[in-house]
Amino acid sequence: MAPKQAPTVRQRRFGAELRRLREEAGMSAPTAGGLLGTDRTMISNIESGRFGISEERLRRLASIYQCDDPALIDALAEMTGRQKPGWWEEYRGKIPPGFLDVSEIEHHAVRLRTVQTAHLPGMFQTEEHARAVFDLFLPPLPRLEVELRVAHRLARQSVLLGDKPTPYVGVIHEAALRMQLGGRKVTRAQLDHLLSASDRDNVALLVIPFEAGGFPLMGDSSVLYAEAPNRRLDTVHMDSPTGAVFIDSPTQLTHFRTRLDLAQKVALAPGKSRDFIRSIAKDL
């Protein structure tokens, strides 16, 4: 297949897992290439996400690496071949690629978990709230880019709708709920929108009140944990001043799962969380 000059995070994720399988087998890239009938350059390009491979070649590589995890091999096989372009591709070249990478991992996730301490979950932001967020950027973004980012953010909600909506668990700190971006009217409408979203069977929004004190991940303003069909293919996304950060090392994934579990234990139950959000909205 032709090289991909700018592989997506999903393509890089696929390649990174193949590299781990090769390293776990104690095999060099030249040796793997020889057994596959190619060279080390091809293996390097596959592992960097620049080249795709067919399902047949993927299964041959898994056999070469003596991978004995059929579920992992099947999950990797689903990531091979030519994928149908996702809805987010219409924004490519118009907004930062990290935004599109987030959409892609959300689309393919089997469950989503987030922790928000300063911002509300992007997938539940109203148009007015999202616009107020992007209007905070310095230097100011061009108006067209703001509108494109807002439209993209609203479109991300599609994974939570439809016949097979993705399960979602969001932990939100009280500070994020009380942030009046766009003013009182916009904030009130945003909180009402959160309450409506929390009524969906596949959505659980859990609030951590100020009185709960410290909790894991409190120093991170936004964390997204996207669960894949196989746990080894999970991905974490975090915001940073320089752009999106994606994490996929097995050790870090384990740490984030533990921290997310602990943060959920600190949060209020779904019913009490809805009452808490309702009380904040009532005070506006």
DSSP string, 118-164: SS--GGG--HHHHHHHHTT-SSPPPHHHHHHHHHHHHHGGGGGSSSS
- In the chain, where the domains are located: 9-77, 91-283
What's the confidence (pLDDT) of residue 5? 57
The answer, yes or no, to whether the previous bond of 140 is cis (omega within 30 of 0) is no
Q: Give pLDDT tens digits along the chain (284 positions).
A: 444 458 999 999 999 999 999 999 999 999 999 999 998 999 999 999 998 899 999 999 999 999 999 999 999 999 997 778 899 999 999 999 999 999 999 999 999 999 999 999 999 999 999 999 999 999 999 999 999 999 999 999 999 988 899 999 999 999 999 999 999 999 999 999 999 999 999 999 999 999 999 998 888 889 999 999 999 999 999 987 777 899 999 999 999 999 999 999 999 999 999 999 999 999 99
CATH code for the part of the protein at 9-77: 1.10.260.40
Q: By C-alpha distance, which of 235, 180, 173, 237 is closest to 205?
A: 173
DSSP string, 213-261: ---TTTT-SEEEEEE-SSGGG-EEEE--TTS-EEE--HHHHHHHHHHHH
What's the confidence (pLDDT) of residue 205? 98
What's the confidence (pLDDT) of residue 3? 47
The tokens describing 198, both together, are 């929390």
How far is it, in rounded angstroms, from Cα 202 to Cα 152?
22
Beta carbons of 58 and 80 less than 8 angstroms apart: yes
Q: Which CATH class is domain 91-283?
A: alpha beta
What's the confidence (pLDDT) of residue 1? 46
Q: Which residue has the tokens 């991909």?
A: 4
Residues 6+ apart with CB under 8 A from 41: 33
Coil, helix or strand for 207? strand
DSSP string, 12-39: HHHHHHHHHHHHHTT--HHHHHHHHTS-
